[in-house]
Amino acid sequence: MEDLTCAFTGHRPSSYKFGYDEEHPDCCKLKALMTIQIVSLIENGVTTFLSGMALGADIWGAEIVLACKKQYPQKGIRLIAVLPCESQADRWSVEQRERYFNILAECDETVYISRHYTRDCMFRRNRWLIDHANFVLAVYNGSTKGGTAYTINYAYEKKRAVIIIDPDTLTVLPYTIRVNNES
């Protein structure tokens, strides 16, 4: 049986109504919706999860997967960190860096797209995530600009199943695959 894989993508918390306040009821609901989707993916055969380890949805997804690994040890769940560069967390707060490195220590594997920061390392990380995933769980507000929009469009181009959780309305768009009729 094929190893099914899911990648995470999402906006940074600064673009959410609740910002970095993870105790905010809307953030708690968002994480609960992510948990429901991740558990459903596991129940449907997804065993490998890919996190770009950016602040927000990537980190939350990684933490949820680590909790699921403990809850469902028989499922063989794996978490792979896909980092744009070694210095990704250098400018984060001490607390954010501590959280990041604690997650990295529990990952099954770490992939570095580039050892050093380059102008396109984030872009190449996002493409790598989609190129290696069957599913994408996106925390996405519908904005047409930015890395999350690019990543979702690339996922549709690659015919990946995309599940979208809107952080503003807290609604889930079950997975969709866009088919381009022009080809």
13 phi and psi angles, rounded to 5 deg:
-55, -25
pLDDT at 181 over 70: no
DSSP state of 1: -
pLDDT at 179 over 90: no
Residues 66-118: tens digit of each pLDDT? 999 999 999 999 999 999 999 999 999 999 999 999 999 999 999 999 999 99
Residues 141-165: tens digit of each pLDDT? 999 999 999 999 999 999 999 999 9
| Distance, CA of 131 to CA of 138 (rounded, Å) | 15
pLDDT at 183 over 70: no
Across-strand partners of 156? none
pLDDT band at 180 (very low <50, low <70, confident <90, very high): low
pLDDT at 174 over 90: no
pLDDT at 182 over 80: no
Provide the whole-model pTM.
Answer: 0.94
Residues 23-43: tens digit of each pLDDT? 999 999 999 999 999 999 999
The order of strands in the sheet holding 46-51 is 109-112, 78-83, 46-51, 4-10, 135-139, 161-166, 171-176
3-class DSSP assignment, residue 138: strand
Report yes or no: 109 and 78 within 8 Å, Cβ to Cβ: yes
